[in-house]
């Protein structure tokens, strides 16, 4: 039975609904971290131990959530993070996320490894779509992809720089998953016991002649699909990406250029010096380096180095007060990855709109209760770090 969306009141409700709908293989791929999941736990603890000291009698009955990102004013500080294979959660998933987010004025960053192509997503949310790039081993093919992205009308390119090797996610191997599904007795049983998902995501596209969902940003003749995910070496993620690649991208990409996955002040300085427009301070949702520091712990030292660059933060946002805290620590805006995916699984585009609206409502409540009226005025000294009490 599909959940009554009005009964889902907080992120955990959406997560529970997502867990029910999805086979374990996909739920764990979406939900979990890497290795021993230490970064996942500590990232969460770092947000929780920050407490907000309210100012009283400020007359704050109306709050302004607008913010400045990459030279534009956005109505809210949210951006949907790039998440690979969202289109396997619900068919057309990336386009549903984009159209739902657009209704709230929230930009969406489409992943290189999406199931829905950039052209379709850009049509679903005109002017509201960014693109996330993984540099492939074959740089020429990477540049060809960028031509396509540009032709679709994208202005903002986000290059992910924190995934130089495959992270260790043991549950994926156990579940028979590696950017696609491997048939093992366990995975077949898992999928068979989620018939609603199996019909919507796998069988219906087949019956309707749409074929097996694939990765449309890959060159057509090399395109992996979700049942045959093996990638041609030329389009595997490059392990040898350096600052020279980024300098070259800065020359060829005329729009806004953002680096995602930065955690050190030195890298922020270097990015600024070569004319990068923004950075995403991120642990990739605690899915890559399990020993990475918590974003909340490093953010202030990075924003100090950023100068005029836009600083976006992500990883671990589950409630409005998390957004408040990352903005008070100096971020201009935040990205959310898993939350829109929980919403998508729970209720398609409507689920996405609801979970993003819920997050914004929670942010408004946090601002009201802490006596703040404008995000642009949040300050570090409104936060108290109760380190050691968790
Ligand atoms: C299922 C899933 C797939 C992801 N795929 C990508 C990706 O292809 N490229 C990328 O740069 N980040 C990817 N990320 C990381 C997100 O962009 C983002 O940094 C992270 O999800 C933020 O943390 P949160 O999920 O706690 O909000 C992915 C995250 C998830 C949950």
Atom number, ligand 1, closest to the C-alpha of residue 158? 11
* Domain assignment of residue 298, given as a range: 5-170+233-371
Residue 249 and residue 156 in contact, taking contact as beta carbons nearer than 8 Å: no
CA distance 373 to 95: 33
In a domain, 69, yes or no: yes
In a domain, 45, yes or no: yes
Pocket-forming residues, ligand 1, beta carbon under 6 Å: 29-30, 81-84, 111, 113, 132, 160, 260, 282, 284-285, 287, 314-317, 335-338
Q: How far is the CA of 58 from the centre of ligand 1 (A)?
A: 37
Q: What are phi and psi of 285, to 5 degrees?
A: 65, 30
In a domain, 389, yes or no: no
For ligand 1, atom 1, the nearest C-alpha belongs to 30
pLDDT recorded at residue 377: 84
pLDDT recorded at residue 387: 61
Rounded to two decimals, the pTM is: 0.97
pLDDT recorded at residue 389: 46
Q: How far is the CA of 19 from the centre of ligand 1 (A)?
A: 18
In a domain, 202, yes or no: no
In a domain, 224, yes or no: no
Q: Give the contacts of 71 (CB within 8 A, at least 6 positions apart).
A: 256, 277
In a domain, 200, yes or no: no
Per-residue pLDDT of the chain (390 residues; tens, 9 = 90+): 678 999 999 999 999 999 999 999 999 999 999 999 999 999 999 999 999 999 888 887 788 999 999 999 999 999 999 999 999 999 999 999 999 999 999 999 999 999 999 999 999 999 999 999 999 999 999 999 999 999 999 999 999 999 999 999 999 999 989 888 888 888 899 999 999 999 999 899 889 988 899 999 999 888 888 988 788 899 999 999 999 999 999 999 999 999 999 999 999 999 999 999 999 999 999 999 999 999 999 999 999 999 999 999 999 999 999 999 999 999 999 999 999 999 999 999 999 999 999 999 999 999 999 999 888 888 877 887 776 444
Give exposure, 66-92, as e/b (b: 16+ Cβ within 10 Å): ebebbeeebebbbbbbbbbbbbbbbbb
For ligand 1, atom 20, the nearest C-alpha belongs to 285
Q: How far is the CA of 325 from the centre of ligand 1 (A)?
A: 20
Q: How many domains does the chain have?
A: 1
CA distance 105 to 55: 29
In a domain, 377, yes or no: no
For ligand 1, atom 28, the nearest C-alpha belongs to 83
Looking at residue 70, what DSSP letter applies? Answer: T
Q: How far is the CA of 12 from the centre of ligand 1 (A)?
A: 18
For ligand 1, atom 19, the nearest C-alpha belongs to 284
For ligand 1, atom 2, the nearest C-alpha belongs to 83
Q: Which residues are catalytic?
A: 284
CA distance 268 to 307: 9
Q: To test ligand 1's pocket by mutation, which of 39, 48, 82 has the most ligand atoms within 8 angstroms of CB?
A: 82
For ligand 1, atom 26, the nearest C-alpha belongs to 316
Q: How far is the CA of 285 from the centre of ligand 1 (A)?
A: 6
Q: How far is the CA of 187 from the centre of ligand 1 (A)?
A: 23
Atom number, ligand 1, closest to the C-alpha of residue 111? 8
Q: Which domain CATH number covers 269? A: 3.20.20.70
In a domain, 212, yes or no: no
């Amino acid at each position: 039975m599909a959940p009554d969306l009005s009964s889902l009141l907080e992120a955990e409700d959406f997560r529970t609904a997502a867990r029910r709908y999805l086979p374990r293989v996909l739920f764990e791929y979406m939900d979990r971290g890497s290795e021993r999941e230490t970064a996942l736990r500590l990232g969460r603890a770092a947000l929780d131990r920050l407490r907000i000291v309210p100012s009283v009698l400020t007359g704050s009955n109306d709050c302004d959530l607008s913010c400045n990102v990459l030279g534009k004013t956005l109505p809210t500080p949210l951006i949907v993070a790039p998440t690979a294979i969202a289109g396997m959660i619900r068919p057309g998933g990336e386009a549903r996320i984009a159209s739902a987010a657009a209704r709230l004025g929230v930009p969406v960053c489409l992943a290189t490894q999406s199931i829905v192509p950039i052209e379709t997503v850009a049509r679903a949310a005109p002017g509201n779509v960014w693109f996330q790039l993984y540099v492939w081993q074959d740089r020429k093919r990477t540049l060809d992809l960028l031509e396509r992205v540009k032709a679709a009308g994208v202005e903002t390119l986000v290059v992910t720089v924190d995934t130089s090797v495959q992270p260790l996610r043991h549950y994926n191997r156990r579940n028979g998953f590696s950017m696609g599904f491997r048939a093992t007795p366990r995975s077949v049983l898992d999928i068979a016991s989620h018939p609603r998902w199996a019909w919507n995501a796998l069988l219906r596209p087949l019956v309707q002649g749409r074929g097996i969902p694939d990765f449309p940003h890959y060159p057509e003749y090399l395109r992996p699909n979700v049942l045959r995910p093996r990638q041609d070496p030329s389009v595997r993620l490059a392990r040898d990406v350096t600052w020279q690649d980024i300098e070259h991208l800065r020359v060829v990409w005329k729009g806004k250029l953002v680096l995602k996955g930065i955690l050190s002040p030195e890298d922020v300085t270097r990015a600024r010096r070569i004319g990068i427009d923004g950075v995403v301070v991120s642990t990739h949702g605690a899915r890559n380096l399990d020993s990475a520091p918590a974003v909340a712990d490093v953010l202030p030292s990075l924003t100090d180095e950023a100068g005029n660059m836009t600083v976006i933060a992500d990883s671990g946002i589950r409630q409005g007060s998390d957004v408040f805290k990352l903005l008070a620590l100096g971020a201009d805006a935040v990205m959310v990855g898993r939350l829109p995916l929980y919403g998508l699984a729970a209720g398609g585009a409507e689920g996405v709109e609801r979970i993003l609206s819920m997050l914004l409502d929670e942010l408004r409540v946090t601002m009201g209760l802490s006596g703040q009226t404008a995000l642009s005025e949040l300050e570090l000294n409104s936060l108290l770090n109760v380190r050691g009490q968790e």
